[in-house]
Structure 1
Amino acid sequence: MHLRDLEDDKKMMVVQFLLQNLNDADVKFNLGRRTITRLWAEAKKQKQQGRLINLTSKKRFTPRLTKRVQIDIAQIQALELCRRSTIRKLAVGIQVSKSTVGRWVHLGLSRTHTNAIKPDLTAPNKLLRLRFSLEALEYDRIANILKFKTMHNVVHIDEKWFYMTKANNRYYLTKEEPEPYRSCKSKKFIIEAHFDSFELEAHFDSFIHMGRGKNNKKFLEAL
């Protein structure tokens, strides 16, 4: 290690050790004998001159000045949205590095946004939705307020469709295993699975336990 790269505290520790013991300083501090000799010579010289031993490094620290690219909001907003979907595309579009764009995002100068397609409702669709919402309201004469119905007599139905397979699948095969062959007339003929779910509130007689009354049995059979 060069003497200029040695820490100031370690230099003083070496000199204090040398003042007490002139042997094995290189082994104790894991330094070269030449470095130890130069430290001892400098300390001895300052001591002979009647000065306090000061082994502070004279190495000057020059900070590295890097020119940061400033964000151009107008240039980014003028770029098409399809060319701003990833950091790489944005960097290519405004001709800066990916790290610069990443730094902008980290500093909050730019942000990510997940955009979802909204349903394009027509006027009849909006009227139907508004009518459905209004029909779910009822007037409470006692509290003199409008509130939503309890929906105790409403059955909520949800259905989901799932494809049994995909047009393209990735498989991990052994070295000698033959590639599987899958065929279908077209993508429209892939088998689909249909699941229905029903959700409703159970009804009970006011004085008969669940499942024991005549009305309860009819209700459970209907389910």
Structure 2
Amino acid sequence: MSIALGMAKSTLHRSVKEGAIRAHSNVIKPEFTTENMKSRLRFCLSMIDPGTISTNPMFMYMYNHIHIDEKWFFMTKTSEKFYHLLEDIDPLHTCKSKKFITKIMFMAAVAHPRYGGSNNEEFSGKIGVFPFIYKEPAKKKSKNHEAGTL
């Protein structure tokens, strides 16, 4: 960075500490096309209660809708920081390839919570989080498992 800016490392370090140069991480965001915006607007308009359009347009109650979403997780990170005592053994952190870390997918389902007559919660709205996994028997014997084990 000092070469790119044409300044000494010490000057660069001082500039960062003084706040003249700051760090910034830039997250990529999806670019909305005109078609994306139109489809979102169509969805919002479809949620307006038809009986209220002529007087005072209101959105429909979504108490009877279940919201479902999926989420991908990596099984591990490429780099993890551990804090432990001096006499503890360092944990082993291995993977066949740093480029192809195993991912798992979960599906979550939630709904609107339900309350009874005296404001007691009858249903929390949490339906569940479900992993998308399957188990199948090993086809061949290897150093890690016998043939036929799940």
TM-score w.r.t. length of structure 2: 0.48
Higher relative contact order (CA 8 A, sep 6+): 2
- Bigger Rg, structure 1 or 2: 1
TM-score w.r.t. length of structure 1: 0.36
Which one has a larger percent strand, Structure 1 or Structure 2? 2
